[in-house]
A = this chain, B = another copy of it.
Amino acid sequence: MGALLLDGEEPPLNAVNEGGRSPFVLICEHASQVLPKKLGALGLPETELQRHIAWDIGAEKVSRFLSRLIDAPLMLQRYSRLAYDCNRPPESPDSIPEISELTAIPGNRKLSADDRLARIAEIYRPFHNGISAFLDRRAADGIRSIIVSIHSFTPVYKGKARSVELGILHDRDGTLSSRLIKSFPNVDARLNEPYGPKDGVLHTLNMHGFARGLMHAMIEIRNDLITTERGQDEWAQRLSVPLIQAIAKQGS
A residues apposed to B, CB below 8 Å? 89-92, 113-114, 116-117, 120-121, 124-125, 129, 132-133, 135-137, 139-142, 145, 172, 200, 203, 206-207, 210-214
A206 contacts B200, CB within 8 Å? no
Distance in angstroms between the alpha carbons of A113 and B140 in the assembled complex: 5
Residues A213 and B90 in contact in the complex (CB < 8 Å), given A120-B136, A206-B206? no
Q: Which residues of B contact A120 (CB under 8 A)?
A: 136, 139-140
In the assembled complex, 23 residue pairs joining A and B whose CB atoms fall closer than 8 Å, in A order, are: A89-B211, A89-B213, A90-B140, A90-B212, A91-B139, A91-B145, A91-B213, A91-B214, A113-B140, A113-B141, A113-B142, A117-B137, A120-B136, A120-B140, A124-B136, A125-B136, A129-B129, A129-B132, A200-B213, A203-B211, A206-B211, A207-B207, A207-B211
Q: Which residues of B contact A135 (CB under 8 A)?
A: 90
Q: Which residues of B contact A136 (CB under 8 A)?
A: 90, 117, 120-121, 124-125
A207 to chain B, nearest CB (A): 4
Residue of chain B at shortest CB distance from A114: B140
A234 to chain B, nearest CB (A): 33
Q: Which residues of B contact A140 (CB under 8 A)?
A: 90, 113-114, 116-117, 120
Interface centre among A92, A210, A211 (most CB of B within 10 A): A211
Interface centre among A136, A137, A172, A214 (most CB of B within 10 A): A136
Q: Which residues of B contact A211 (CB under 8 A)?
A: 89, 203, 206-207, 210-211
Distance in angstroms between the alpha carbons of A129 and B116 in the assembled complex: 18
A37 to chain B, nearest CB (A): 21
B133 contacts A125, CB within 8 Å? yes
New A-B contacts (16) at CB < 8 Å, excluding given A91-B213, A114-B140, A117-B136:
A89-B139, A90-B139, A90-B140, A91-B145, A92-B213, A117-B140, A117-B141, A121-B133, A125-B132, A129-B129, A129-B132, A172-B172, A203-B211, A207-B211, A210-B210, A210-B211
